[in-house]
Amino acid sequence: MELLRTITDTFWSTKIWLPPNITWEDIQPGVRPDVNHADYRHLVYPIPLAAIMLVIRYFIERYWIAPIGKAIGIKSTGPKPPIPNKTLESAYNTNARLNHKAIVKLTKQTELSERQVERWWRRRRAQDKPTTLVKFSENSWRCIYYTYSFIFGSIVMWDKPWLWDIRNCWYGYPHQSVSNDIWWYYMISMAFYWSLTASQFVDVKRKDFWQMFIHHMITILLMALSWVCNLHRVGSLVLLVHDCADIFLEAAKITKYAQYQKVCDTIFAVFTVVWIITRLVLYPRIIYSSSIEAPRILPMFPAYYIFNTLLILLLVLHIGWTYLIIQIAIKAIKSGQMEGDVRSSSSDELSDSSENARPIVANGTPKKQQRPSPSKAAGSNQASPKK
């Protein structure tokens, strides 16, 4: 117990996480009658909220999105299953990858030709792939959430002084009150990432499953740390900036699945413009404030450098993703049709970053540090940035 306490005290040292001459007792809720500090105990609330969000998602996808998808002609069934074969099924369940050595072994066990084994294997793998309707439903749910999150965040932030003058993120820090609307904005955003972490085990499986799982956990951790350190102002700005573009990305994928190619191309064009404005204009303004203005207003401390470095790393990722987006846009203009999605993936491809190149974390770290693949159409299923 003594060792654990020593480790805990060392990790939560005020010399790391708080400005000079500030202690954890100084920012406890209720210490100052004029300031409503963030309460670290409230970080447990996003977990039950995530459970509620999963229930809401289930009913929305099943009784609203799926019927709409079927009505517009999106396929709800997969390919025809292969002829039942216990030997091949057992081998497939053991290892879904097939090499020549395994094929030879299976031909001896089943008395099938190599071509027949390969054909069975292809059909069996195709059977495991999610239907277009499933991917349509997942992307629709994320589009709904991002739309809600951006609208709610805009309403919440509209009357906040730090939205119009970022220097207000630093004035008076760490004695900055958390209003009820900011509290809900943070808690629901964290709940969404908790829900993504849980639903990842039943959603469309992707090659980068564990990378995304770790990414979601790191995102939650960083949002929690920014809450504990009372950095909710800059965190809320980063969340708001990253929500907007993801609406159009998910919408482009939805229209691709629905085979509305012209609508998909138009939405992707809007996405490209919004992405550049939010990720390469507005977001760098936040970094300028955190890098240049903040040191002029408050004394520096180690946690500041940690968070600011993550903000800058996220900007570097944005620049790389922007390059890929522009490449896709140019290719689409030449071909007359969108040929790629910078942050796409299916069960056989790399996953979208942002969930989402999304964020986003509240204090500004990237959701995932993976180079997105431009190999698939704008409608392919997810990242994150974004997230």
Per-residue pLDDT tens over the stretch 312-346: 888 888 888 888 888 888 887 777 655 544 444 43
**Residues 120 and 83: beta-carbon distance below 8 Å:** yes
Residue showing tokens 């969000």: 53
Find the helix or strand (DSSP H, E) in which 301 lies: none
Structure tokens at 142: 């994320």
Cα–Cα dist 188/183, whole Å: 9
Position 381 scores a pLDDT of: 40
pTM of the model: 0.78
**Residues 384 and 366: beta-carbon distance below 8 Å:** yes
Q: What residues does CATH 1.10.10 cover in the chain?
A: 86-128
Alpha-carbon torsion 264, 269, 273, 279, what sign?
positive
**Residues 163 and 157: beta-carbon distance below 8 Å:** yes
Position 306 scores a pLDDT of: 87
**Residues 314 and 324: beta-carbon distance below 8 Å:** no
Cα–Cα dist 17/19, whole Å: 7
CA dist 83 → 117, 125, 131, 274, 356 (Å):
11, 13, 20, 49, 38
Residues of the chain with pLDDT under 70: 78, 204-209, 211-212, 215, 336-387
**Residues 91 and 106: beta-carbon distance below 8 Å:** yes
Position 146 scores a pLDDT of: 94
Report the SS3 class of residue 263. Answer: helix
Report the SS3 class of residue 350. Answer: coil
Which CATH entry fits the domain spanning 86-128: 3.30.390, 1.10.10, 1.20.120, 1.10.287?
1.10.10
> Which of 231, 160, 219 is CA-nearest to residue 353?
219
**Residues 385 and 366: beta-carbon distance below 8 Å:** yes
Other CB atoms within 10 Å distance of the CB of residue 190: 23
What's the first-to-final CA gap in the chain, in angstroms? 37
118 CB contacts (<8 Å, ≥6 apart)? 98, 103
Q: Which residues pair with 354 in a beta bridge?
A: 356
